[in-house]
Amino acid sequence: MSTTPLEAGPATLDRIRQYLVGLKMPRALEALEHILRRLERGELSALEAIDALLGEELTLREGRRIKAALKMGRLLSIKTLTGFDFSFQPSLDRDRIMTLAQLDFVDRHEVVHFLGQPGCGKTHLALALGVEAVKAGRSVYFATLADIVSSLAKAEREGTLRERLRFLCRPQLLIVDEIGYLPVIPGGGNLFFQLVNARYERGAMILTSNRGFSEWGDVFGGTVVASALLDRLLHHAVVVQIEGASYRLRRHAELMPDNNRSRPITAPPPAPRRRGRPPKARSADNEANP
């Protein structure tokens, strides 16, 4: 003869409550009454009730873990792939981004480059992949190039460069945003190279830039350091070129000068400022994984 949960007695129920307290399962404790009532009404089988109870607790914990990891990783502005309007960027292969979201590139310690004009969605995509990685249990850290370089320079001044490099090597995925908006501070190229070299083939990175690889000499204060960087950063790399216009300015397209509307940035820049292009840059796409 089977008994209903409440017939099993208040003593049993009390013990279950104590177990949940002892096991530090506050959400399950909270949900217990409601789940038992549904069980009594025959809305849930015993198995489904156990499933619901444990599921409640796990959902709460996962939510907390993700929230804490996003904060730790400085993924403060949350962007998602579902929130990305692919129809606005026809040059972008949605399947390619969805493949990246499977995170094999993280496990293979590869580098993903998002290149494009300001506002085309580079940071959005980098953050969204970062969020996917956090959800899947990978460690992620997000920073702008300027922040990374200044934190390395500060650590160098204070004699703690090794520790800082070790800290930035820890996350399985390091996102370096905004390469090229400003040239790095003197010596910054060298410091960033030390980081890239330390992570090379050991940890994945996502880099975003509004400058073509041929302009990295200007960004990093010299073609020697730029080609050393690109040598590492294009070896196991996926280059995603976004050729569309700014999403921020989508309602004001007619106000934009023509050359700001939609310009592929890896196309050779208009003649003057180029001083020697680092090797390998144009081969990046060929080396990229399909």
Q: Which of 123, 144, 190, 227 binds Mg ion (CB under 5 A)?
A: 123
Q: What residues are paired with 205 via a beta bridge?
A: 111, 174
Residue 109 vs 263, nearer CB to Mg ion: 263
* One-letter amino acid of 262: S
Nearer to ligand ADP, 118 or 269 (CB): 118
Asked if 266 touches Mg ion (CB under 5 A), the answer is no
Of these partners, ligand ADP, Mg ion, none, which one is at the site of residue 84 (CB under 5 to 8 Å by kind)?
ligand ADP
Asked if 209 touches Mg ion (CB under 5 A), the answer is no
Burial pattern 183-222, b for ≥16 Cβ within 10 A else e, equals ebeeebbbbbbbbbeebbeebbbbbbbbbbbbbbbbbbbe
Nearest to 39 by CA among 64, 80, 7, 1: 7
Instruction: Please give the structure tokens belonging to residue 129.
Output: 């992949």
* Closest CB 118 distance from Mg ion, rounded Å: 7
Return the one option of Mg ion, ligand ADP, none that residue 181 interacts with (CB less than 5 to 8 A, by type): none
Q: Report, in Å, the least distance between residue 210 CB and Mg ion.
A: 8
Out of Mg ion, ligand ADP, none, which partner does residue 124 contact, by CB within 5 to 8 A per kind?
Answer: ligand ADP
Residue number, 39 or 245, with CB nearest to Mg ion: 245
Phi, psi values for residue 67, rounded to 5°:
-60, -45
Q: Considering the rule CB under 5 A, would residue 117 count as an interface residue with Mg ion?
A: no
The site map against Mg ion for 77-116 (x = CB under 5 A) is ----------------------------------------
| Nearest residue (CB) to Mg ion, 123 versus 262 | 123
- Relative to beta strand 237-242, strand 111-116 is parallel
Residue 122: CB minimum distance to ligand ADP, A = 3
- Distance in angstroms (rounded) separating the CA atoms of residues 140 and 78: 13
Distance of closest approach, residue 247 Cβ to ligand ADP, in angstroms: 3
Contacts of 131 (CB under 8 A, 6+ apart): 70, 75, 78, 79, 80
Q: How many residues does the chain have?
A: 290
Residues that bind Mg ion (CB under 5 A): 123
